[in-house]
């Protein structure tokens, strides 16, 4: 078994589940050295809206979102800091197209989503143009690698530059790029929904997607990203 990221050999003891259920052996994962590169986020000393690590109750961005969406009880969760180590990993996975890296955080995602089994999971989609050039949806890839079922209820009809290539002002001024499928419009009402993205920066993408979902009155809308 080798590290999913650096390709060094990994030696570890199998878990009981892997011994008695061989199909569950996870052969794609990070080695201990690579795992240490990524900083886990905590709820302590963080923004109550988006989990930004800070001492204030709400960050500047979330204060603005509260004004725009006063009836939405927003609370975003993420696992890792979007620091240099995560940016380098995202560059390799998302922009250079190393699709094998979708397995890197499968264990962490499995553990998180185990508590969300009663929710409709929706991955933030990419446009047809982005899918054609990249070849995959990076968010769906992460969920698939972790064995997490998700529904294609959102459609992205606008492409444009990647959020990473935009400054803060450009991100905040983007027009609505999403719409719901006809199926979603029938099933979301009064259901708990979990909207998933890969990275949370200003929240613009999440709130665009949330806006069209909230129109169908879900019982609760939760949001999550791998990194923040």
pLDDT in tens, 19-60: 555 554 455 789 989 999 999 999 889 999 999 999 999 999
The answer to whether residue 91 scores a pLDDT higher than 50 is yes
Q: What percent of the chain has pLDDT over 70?
A: 86
Same domain flag for 56 and 13: no
Same domain flag for 45 and 21: no
Same domain flag for 73 and 25: no
Model confidence over 135-147: pLDDT tens digits? Answer: 999 999 999 999 9
**CATH (domain of 105):** 3.40.50
What's the pLDDT at 159?
A: 61
- Residue given tokens 């939760």 in the structure block: 222
What's the pLDDT at 25?
A: 45
Closest CA to 160 of 139, 179, 174: 174
Closest CA to 135 of 186, 177, 105, 96: 96
Closest CA to 38 of 1, 99, 95, 79: 79
Same domain flag for 74 and 126: yes
Average pLDDT over all residues of the chain? 89
Alpha helix ranges (H) inside the chain: 16-20, 32-35, 60-68, 84-90, 106-113, 128-134, 138-145, 168-172, 182-187, 204-214
What's the pLDDT at 162?
A: 53
Distance CA 137, CA 145 (A): 12
Distance CA 54, CA 168 (A): 19
Distance CA 161, CA 39 (A): 28
Same domain flag for 22 and 51: no
With contact defined as beta carbons under 8 Å apart, do 173 and 201 qualify? no
Same domain flag for 26 and 121: no
What's the pLDDT at 163?
A: 52
Closest CA to 82 of 211, 203, 170, 219: 203
**pLDDT band at 132; cut points 50, 70, 90:** very high
Same domain flag for 9 and 70: no
Same domain flag for 126 and 19: no
Q: Helix or strand or coil: residue 183?
A: helix
> Could you say which DSSP state residue 163 is in?
G
What's the pLDDT at 185?
A: 86
The answer to whether residue 170 scores a pLDDT higher than 70 is no
Domain that holds residue 101: 39-227
Q: Give, in order, the Cα–Cα distances in Å from 33 to each of 38, 65, 102.
A: 10, 38, 18
Question: Average pLDDT in the 53-77 region?
Answer: 95
Same domain flag for 125 and 218: yes
**pLDDT band at 223; cut points 50, 70, 90:** very high
Same domain flag for 200 and 96: yes
Backbone phi, psi, residue 156, to 5°: -105, 115
Same domain flag for 21 and 114: no
Total number of domains constituting the chain: 2
The answer to whether residue 228 scores a pLDDT higher than 60 is yes
What's the pLDDT at 43?
A: 87
**Angle subtended at Cα 37 by Cα 31 and Cα 41, rounded to the nearest 5 degrees:** 115
Kindly state the helix (H) or strand (E) to which residue 196 belongs, with its residue range: strand 192-199
Same domain flag for 91 and 194: yes
What's the pLDDT at 100?
A: 95
Q: What's the token pair of residue 90? A: 């995202």
């Amino acid at each position: 078994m080798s590290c999913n990221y650096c390709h060094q050999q990994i030696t570890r003891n199998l878990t009981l589940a892997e011994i008695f259920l061989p199909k569950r052996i996870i052969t794609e994962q990070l080695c201990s050295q690579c795992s240490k590169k990524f900083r886990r986020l905590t709820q302590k000393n963080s923004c109550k809206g988006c989990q930004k690590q800070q001492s204030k109750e709400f960050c500047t961005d979330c204060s603005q979102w509260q004004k725009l969406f006063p009836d939405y009880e927003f609370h975003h969760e993420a696992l890792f800091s979007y620091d240099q180590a995560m940016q380098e990993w995202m560059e390799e996975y998302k922009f250079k197209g190393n699709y094998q890296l979708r397995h890197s955080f499968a264990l962490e995602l499995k553990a998180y989503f185990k508590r969300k089994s009663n929710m409709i999971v929706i991955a933030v989609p990419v446009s047809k143009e982005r899918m054609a050039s990249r070849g995959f949806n990076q968010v769906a890839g992460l969920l698939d690698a972790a064995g997490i079922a998700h529904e294609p209820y959102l459609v992205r009809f606008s492409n444009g530059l990647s959020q990473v290539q935009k400054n803060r002002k450009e991100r905040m001024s983007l027009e609505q790029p999403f719409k719901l499928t006809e199926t979603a419009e029938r099933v979301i009402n009064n259901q708990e929904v979990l909207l998933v993205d890969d990275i949370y920066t200003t929240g613009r993408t999440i709130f665009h997607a949330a806006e069209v979902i909230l129109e169908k009155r879900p019982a609760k809308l939760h949001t999550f990203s791998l990194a923040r």
